[in-house]
Structure 1
């Protein structure tokens, strides 16, 4: 099957292309000739990953690394281990990383990688063999100045440690900056685990100020109570907001007077989910969307806010902690109802921002305290919110469209100023 056929017939990639087309009318005329730069990946690598299983059998897995755009710097994006990983998904994810890093004005392009595998079916030793062989296969195109992987679905800090060690072994010396999201004692950064949730809170706080929404006593509903949702909920609670509803894969809980988020975090750590939390009422999952709320934090899965749900949603502000939680037609409904959406490419970019800090620390071999990291993260997130908000006011559009306009302008200006080699 040809790459061109794959590009033309995939939903995720087509969604991304539609987003670029929607932005095109807003761009300056001198950038339009370069817009096709955004419509095709710079480089797509497909690799065979054979490993010896614990029982002595040899199995082959298919792996990918796609570099969508490198005009503003080395590629940046996660490595995903999942049974549904395929080229088109990885291409779309790499393109969205290009947009996200440009919105935050980080000196990166976008990349993404993955292996089609169910990591839960592998032993720890098999997982390590898989990771090391995959790293060796993609090693010609990654590196601190080329492309810097990070954890994603199905991967974690341990896997990043194996990647770093394998790449370092190939190079003959330790190269900590080849990946981010590593264990702290291997060059990882403090504050990385909570960074995405913190970014959701910081962007929400800034936009709330702009729309005159008081955080104190505001009602917050959180879907997804993992690293992102739970940290955002904790920080909103700490700022005297009331987290009245929380939903995850185990169910939906509600307390009109507000949940004790710190205790809920401990409950989830012990039981694996929000269900059964004391001092809360269980409600039907569908009722989550009818709760009286001021702020909604969808931090679970993609495609959660449908046009139907958007019609009756009571929130004033939606903070996209997850990637792609809102369908395009739902986006239009929310816009018509004057519900502000802080898009995923801005709202959940705290993780990649602290990944950038990790890379900088590795390159200089000088490490910051968590307070320093949080202060730097807050500063960059606040600046990004201001940039997107000003663009939205200037172009009379939603924050999502404004974020894409801003990102595409930055990427295409870099492409234009670099020129086309050999000319």
Structure 2
């Protein structure tokens, strides 16, 4: 366990515990996931062969409400990763004060190697395997790495078939035509953009004087790049899994996004091309992007991108975590000692789960909001919680990550304690 991602994720609490009066019962409760499920998913492939895929779903904590979390399709998916992501989701929901606990799911595969029909059979097979583990009042899946609205639509439809009823609130991130929320597909990026807009003026940084590098040009990274570009920030580098591009005077982000989404970039469900094929910009590696001398570095790909091995190469003054867990715990202290501000994933990328909550609310009520209403509500949430965490950070002289965990622990501790603690029972109940 000492080398696991979950053990590394759990270390985030150690520093926060110094600043929170939380019961032993609550601490004990948060050490372990509520339930974990591993399933085998048989899929008939297009060539007639049968292939078994390994799937997972972890519900970490449901003290504050039904659990919530995405489903990722990736070769590195394993129980340790899924449990860690569910742990982070627990705190993310508490940070944004959502009535959810944390969950996560995934299937171990390279989705780019499957046809659309194989992906559909796999997605429906996953729901067949976990149908008794999920539900609108139990656990609500959503998109994550290499999953999208179409895949969420397949999952919801399969759940409907199994239950013999229409249950749109079982899954969020669905197509709009199936009950999805406006703004959900861009929510992670939009929430991160709001956080950046709230934080940077505190350091007297104007957009036109601020350089940005973004690792990860998937849905969140690409949309955030365009939002920043439109707001006047100088986005000088972006990358995807194959490599990246750099331009000292700034990149033409709309052109790069168009390239990625044009017919020469996406001809199937997943993109086969890479941003580094655009010839009139300097090609760089993902490692070189992380070491660029920029104002803002945005890791928007996968976890553990900045570790003790490469942390000293980082030159950015501010890091906004759009990916989950991109900075390893061992690198945190070094960045702090070097005066580099890290704004944590459980705050910065919480726009996705926040608008998933909005989608769930809309599904349950049958009343649907305009895009303007969704973004206004999201901005209100992000401003309120970012300012609250900034205040904790300043008052206690602690990092924004520690402040976010302090904020979340207060809310989780109160909810757990409300069910009764050792002190409550030993001291005679309500007396």
Q: Same fold (TM over 0.5)?
A: yes
Among 73, 91, 101, the residue aligned to 2:83: 91
Separation in 1, partners of 2:311, 2:50: 49
Give the 5 Å matches for 1:15-414.
Answer: 15-28=8-21, 30-54=22-46, 57-270=49-262, 271=265, 272-277=273-278, 280-283=281-284, 286-307=287-308, 309-414=310-415
Conservation of the 8 A alpha-carbon contact between 1:100 and 1:407: yes
Note the alpha carbon deviations across 1:8-61, whole angstroms, 9 max, x for none: 466012112222233222220x52332011110111223343344455555443
What is the Cα deviation at residue 417 of structure 1?
Answer: 0.7
| Partners of 1:320 and 1:348 within 8 A in 2 | yes
- Offset, 1:313: 3.2
CA apart distance, 1:308:
5.7
Deviations 1:132-176 (A, max 9, x none): 233133222311111101122332222211221122223222000
Contact conserved, 1:63 with 1:116, CA < 8 A, in 2?
yes
1:13 corresponds to which residue? 6
Classify the secondary structure of the residue corresponding to 2:59: strand
**TM-aligned CA deviation for residue 412 of structure 1:** 1.6
For the residues of structure 1 that align with 2:6 and 2:328, how far apart are their CA atoms? Answer: 15
Shift in Å, 1:315:
2.2
**Count of residues paired in the alignment:** 414
Gaps of 5+ in 1: 1-7
CA contact (8 A) 1:220 1:295 kept: yes
CA distance change for structure 1 residues 419 and 49 in 2, over 3 Å: closer, same or farther?
A: farther
Change over 3 Å in CA distance of 1:416–1:299 after alignment to 2: same
List gaps (5 residues or longer) in structure 2: 266-272, 426-431
Q: What secondary structure sits across from 2:165 in the alignment?
A: coil
- After superposition, the Cα gap between the structure-2 partners of 1:22 and 1:61, relative to the gap in structure 1 and judged at 3 Å, is same
In 2, Cα distance between equivalents of 1:285 and 1:9: 27
CA deviation string 1:167-217 (max 9, x = no partner): 222322200000001111001111112111112211111111222222232
Question: In the alignment, is the contact (CA less than 8 A) between 1:164 and 1:176 conserved in 2?
Answer: yes
Kept in 2: contact 1:204–1:342 (CA 8 A): no
Root-mean-square deviation (Å): 2.3
Give the CA deviation at 1:252.
Answer: 3.2
Q: TM-score, normalised by structure 1?
A: 0.90
Which deviations, in whole Å up to 9, do the C-alpha atoms of 1:260-299 show, x marking residues without a partner? 2212211232343322436533356554345332111121
1:245 and 1:402 mapped to 2: Cα distance?
30
Give the TM-score, by structure 2 length. 0.89
Q: Is the alpha carbon distance of 1:294 and 1:186 closer, same or farther for their aligned partners in structure 2, counting shifts above 3 Å?
A: same
Is the Cα contact below 8 Å between 1:259 and 1:279 reproduced in 2?
no
SS state at 2:392 partner: helix
Is residue 168–residue 178 contact of structure 2 (8 Å, CA) maintained in 1? yes
Q: Distance in 1 between matches of 2:280 and 2:44?
A: 51
Which residue pairs with 1:5 in the alignment?
Answer: none
